[in-house]
């Protein structure tokens, strides 16, 4: 089948492209590097010709609700309109476990994205996944003061981005399924400890200082609101394995 990957140059998107190619699918990358502007639709229609399914793993780096909602509203609306016009049969979107329980601005954007997809004109699937193993390295750059990285206290059950990609390609091939069971990693971890392990493994000259996310949202992430509350598929690759291989 022909699969288009929106955000195909990102952390998960690159894996989705690789997995789809390995499984014999025809892959189209939807990204600025390929001449496609997903907020305006420039270059999108021609890239969707003959596409059977779109996998949306687009992302925006912000914690501001207004910015997150504006981004996901624009991208999702543009994609769905173009897909409907081109006869795309399936829209698959990657979301995040626990976003209904945590009142952070970025998660408001993801909730909006899910609603737009569910109410949209294209048959759909939503896969929620936990944070990736790569998140432990990303948090080192969220808030930096000289050699110090301020890392939020939170409980996570990270999963390998490669395994998320495999699940997304599986879903694209299987057809629309609505909200499918949440995907999580095999073990729960404290993110601060994971960040310190990344610093040690990479030989980075950084000091990790834990900071609590304030308010109700902070209490939620510390108590495990971003970990799965029900049974579902679990990744096989542990953080230890990922750290060695990465």
Q: Residue 223: how many CB atoms within 10 A of its CB?
A: 12
pTM, two decimal places: 0.95
Q: What is the CA radius of gyration of the chain?
A: 18
**pLDDT tens figures, 89-101:** 999 999 999 999 9
* Mean pLDDT, range 226-234, rounded to an integer: 93
Instruction: Decide: 100 and 67 in contact? Cβ < 8 Å.
Output: no
Is CATH 3.40.50.720 the classification given to domain 2-245?
Answer: yes
**pLDDT tens figures, 5-57:** 999 999 999 999 999 999 999 999 999 989 999 999 999 999 999 999 999 99
CA dihedral 223, 225, 227, 233 (to 10 degrees): 150
């Amino acid at each position: 089948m022909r699969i288009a990957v929106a955000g195909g140059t990102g952390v998960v998107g690159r894996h989705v492209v690789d997995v789809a190619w390995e499984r014999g699918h025809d892959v189209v990358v939807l990204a600025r590097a390929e001449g496609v502007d997903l907020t305006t639709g420039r270059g999108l229609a021609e890239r969707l010709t003959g596409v059977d399914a779109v996998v949306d793993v687009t992302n925006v780096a912000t914690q501001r609700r207004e910015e997150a909602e504006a981004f996901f509203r624009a991208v999702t609306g543009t994609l769905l309109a173009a897909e409907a016009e081109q006869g795309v049969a399936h829209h698959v979107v990657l979301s995040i476990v626990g976003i209904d329980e945590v009142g952070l601005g970025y998660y408001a954007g993801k909730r909006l994205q899910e609603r737009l997809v569910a109410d949209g004109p294209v048959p759909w699937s939503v896969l929620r996944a936990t944070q990736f193993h790569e998140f432990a390295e990303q948090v080192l750059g969220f808030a930096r003061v000289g050699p110090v990285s301020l890392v939020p206290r939170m409980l996570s059950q990270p999963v390998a981005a490669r395994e998320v990609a495999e699940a997304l390609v599986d879903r694209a091939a299987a057809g629309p399924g609505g909200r499918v069971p949440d995907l999580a990693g095999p073990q729960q971890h404290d993110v601060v400890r994971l960040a310190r392990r990344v610093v040690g493994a990479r030989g980075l000259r950084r000091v990790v200082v834990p900071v609590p996310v304030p308010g109700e949202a902070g209490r939620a992430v510390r108590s495990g609101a971003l970990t799965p509350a029900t049974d579902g598929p679990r990744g096989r690759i542990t953080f230890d394995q990922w750290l060695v291989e990465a």
